[in-house]
Structure 1
């Protein structure tokens, strides 16, 4: 009687364990989630977790357990990058004039809107000019916006580069006047006025462990290899580059995708993150797609010039957050990952994102644990099965006997 009672008590617990195991046994790792006290929370992914999850985050799951019930929690994956919007402001050119080597171009906006960027296109291909920009509301009293702003164009067999975009703080005038100092008349072919709005994202500085710089005189290039502590998201790099003269050089930023251990050490395979130029006109800052990696490689083509003086760099990445809806506040929750075969989840909350509260509190993600229910189905090779081996040997012996008997009979 006592045994039957114990079995009845243990049966629901056993069923609960089996149900939980059935849903989570394909995930290698788990992290307990604590601090769930309302329906909506944000979940920040820890840095040391990125190297064990799939590149596309397909294997991220949140499961909750309450008694014998196991529920899957829907979430949205958010990358906190900069959000940039461009609005072109219509205008018309009023006049063009020249006084003593200074060429003036006056424009009027259709409406008095704030702008912070003017893009210029010229027919000339090689020039180096200084530009002044002024604003006015009555076309008589002018106020300085930019002074001695440098614009440049270089085109030859090795280089095709233009820097003809005027960037300045938000300005709200009806009239704008551009003054270009030049020995020859600039041939302005197109102008575009723009209002650029940027919603700042959340960037986290990434500390690097190794920094190795090599100037290769034979290849005429400078190569920097940077090793990070963990595989983490990277989307921004700033180089501290200096030279006694103006410079303009091709640059390529790559990230390690794989590594092979050889007799000479570890060799890495790289893929391109960014290709462009590093020059003395613009800040040596480079933005690219948020990418998870543990190693970066920066290559600067010096051509026949002296290498730049490079004194360190700054690396940043956009953090990833999960916005999750916890339907049962009494359940115990955990974050599961480490499944190479699972597909991305399809949750309907992404269609109702506007209804999610704006200010969310974060929950705590605990240390990584191995999932005790994780099981991998491994099928043994055919020839490791003893039955198949005996059958194969029997067939071979039978064939040998048959052909031997046939030969003796003949």
Structure 2
């Protein structure tokens, strides 16, 4: 008898532990097993197929470890290696302005010998097309060439307001810099900003598109490109292959689909802006924007009265999302859970101590998506499931109304 009671208690304990484990994971529709956990800290790359069913802001990502009756939640950091540009301006002063038959010259002196790689010029003129030569010197006598026949341009009219007056060059360390402009008129230089720009390229993965459809609309003078991807994935970089027989500068807008709806004319899409700017023969047609998960893009090029550009494809990339997690006990069985629309972002202490996380982390494997067997939906039952209750309720209401009406008439 004692042995039977012991078995019953063990069975009840097992059922209770399973119920507790399910209570923590039963609000997530999907799970992916995590294998290869053999130390405390690990990293893992989110698979592309996960983005379709996870929340857009990843609020629902959870890692749970289960070992018999115990269920633990694994703290993690979600990181993305994004493209970043850091610009640091250098102090300087304009010490000379002169001209000769070859052009107009502006000389700048740095307060200290700093390394720079960019000079932004601003002019009072609104329309110009000039050639620039940039030189550097440490004694203001012997000059060394940095840029030669570099073109700057400004066009301002009713249709266009475009400027390209940024001098970009390899890192240079001189005390003096001299800008020479070849212009038929006296340039009116309003401002010059000298700076050092450092670019962190980020970690990208190539994104393949399914279809690339170009439509040239002569009525509204636009070229619209619809790009459909295989699956929703992160995007943060686009390079458009554009050619023309002449120089060009046109407005460009990049949008991503947010949702869709059915109409009599078929499926229609709602879009939100990713990028607005200019596509020009003077600059590389490369565009960086915030990492955004989408499955469809729309690119609009405003042609005005010009011939449409020859567009022959594009290159897409997205920043990789990576999880850095702390597994306190390798003996547990771990899985990644997601698919809970009501989930809020977790708050873990490890984000306050990120500097203590080891630099070299081994990767673990995230398995294939599967439906979470513990997932359950608590359906809110209607107050009255039986129609008879509705008839009874209506009868009571009618009786009360009749009684109050009779009482008022008698008075």
Which TM class, normalised by the smaller chain length? over 0.9
SS of 2:362's equivalent?
A: coil
Residues 101 and 183 in structure 1, CA contact (< 8 A), matched pair in contact too: no
Alignment partners' CA distance in 2, 1:370 and 1:246: 55
How far apart are 1:56 and its partner, in Å?
Answer: 1.2
Residue aligning to 2:382:
381
Residue aligning to 1:354:
355
Q: Which moved more, 1:255-264 or 1:365-374?
A: 255-264
Normalising by structure 2, we get a TM-score of 0.94
Is residue 19 of structure 1 aligned with residue 20 of structure 2? Answer: yes
Residue aligning to 2:135:
134
Q: Which runs of 5+ in 1 are unaligned?
A: none
Matches within 5 A, 1:175-254: 175-254=176-255
How far apart are 1:14 and its partner, in Å?
Answer: 1.3
Alignment partners' CA distance in 2, 1:41 and 1:25: 25
SS of 2:167's equivalent?
A: strand
Normalising by structure 1, we get a TM-score of 0.94
Alignment partners' CA distance in 2, 1:13 and 1:93: 80
Residue aligning to 2:111:
110
Residue aligning to 1:43:
44
The CA deviation string for residues 174-199 of structure 1, in whole angstroms up to 9 with x for no partner, is 21111100001111111111011122
Alignment partners' CA distance in 2, 1:117 and 1:400: 83
How far apart are 1:377 and its partner, in Å?
Answer: 1.6
SS of 1:52's equivalent?
A: coil
Residue aligning to 2:278:
277
The CA deviation string for residues 244-303 of structure 1, in whole angstroms up to 9 with x for no partner, is 111111111111111113333211111111111111111111111111100000011111
Alignment partners' CA distance in 2, 1:79 and 1:388: 56
Q: Which runs of 5+ in 2 are unaligned?
A: none
Matches within 5 A, 1:62-73: 62-73=63-74
Task: Give the direction of change, closer, same or farther, for the CA distance of 1:387–1:79 in structure 2 (3 Å limit).
Answer: farther
Alignment partners' CA distance in 2, 1:393 and 1:175: 92
Alignment partners' CA distance in 2, 1:158 and 1:263: 36
The CA deviation string for residues 18-38 of structure 1, in whole angstroms up to 9 with x for no partner, is 111111111111111011111
Alignment partners' CA distance in 1, 2:399 and 2:91: 92
Alignment partners' CA distance in 2, 1:285 and 1:82: 13
Residues 131 and 179 in structure 1, CA contact (< 8 A), matched pair in contact too: yes
Residues 382 and 388 in structure 1, CA contact (< 8 A), matched pair in contact too: no
Residue aligning to 1:151:
152
Residues 204 and 316 in structure 1, CA contact (< 8 A), matched pair in contact too: yes
The CA deviation string for residues 34-82 of structure 1, in whole angstroms up to 9 with x for no partner, is 1111111112111011111111111111111122111111111111102
Residues 220 and 304 in structure 1, CA contact (< 8 A), matched pair in contact too: yes
Q: Which moved more, 1:311-320 or 1:192-201?
A: 192-201
SS of 1:375's equivalent?
A: coil
Residues 31 and 368 in structure 1, CA contact (< 8 A), matched pair in contact too: yes
How far apart are 1:399 and its partner, in Å?
Answer: 7.6
Alignment partners' CA distance in 1, 2:362 and 2:387: 59
Residue aligning to 1:363:
364
Q: Which moved more, 1:134-143 or 1:250-259?
A: 134-143
RMSD between aligned residues: 2.0
Alignment partners' CA distance in 2, 1:16 and 1:259: 43
How far apart are 1:323 and its partner, in Å?
Answer: 1.0
Task: Give the direction of change, closer, same or farther, for the CA distance of 1:52–1:22 in structure 2 (3 Å limit).
Answer: same
Residue aligning to 1:84:
85
Alignment partners' CA distance in 2, 1:323 and 1:83: 21
Alignment partners' CA distance in 2, 1:376 and 1:401: 43
How far apart are 1:95 and its partner, in Å?
Answer: 1.0
How far apart are 1:9 and its partner, in Å?
Answer: 2.7
Alignment partners' CA distance in 1, 2:230 and 2:193: 45
Residue aligning to 2:269:
268
Q: Which moved more, 1:387-396 or 1:74-83?
A: 387-396
How far apart are 1:400 and its partner, in Å?
Answer: 11
SS of 1:77's equivalent?
A: strand
Residue aligning to 2:175:
174
Residues 255 and 271 in structure 1, CA contact (< 8 A), matched pair in contact too: yes
Alignment partners' CA distance in 2, 1:390 and 1:97: 97
Residue aligning to 2:5:
4
Matches within 5 A, 1:274-313: 274-313=275-314
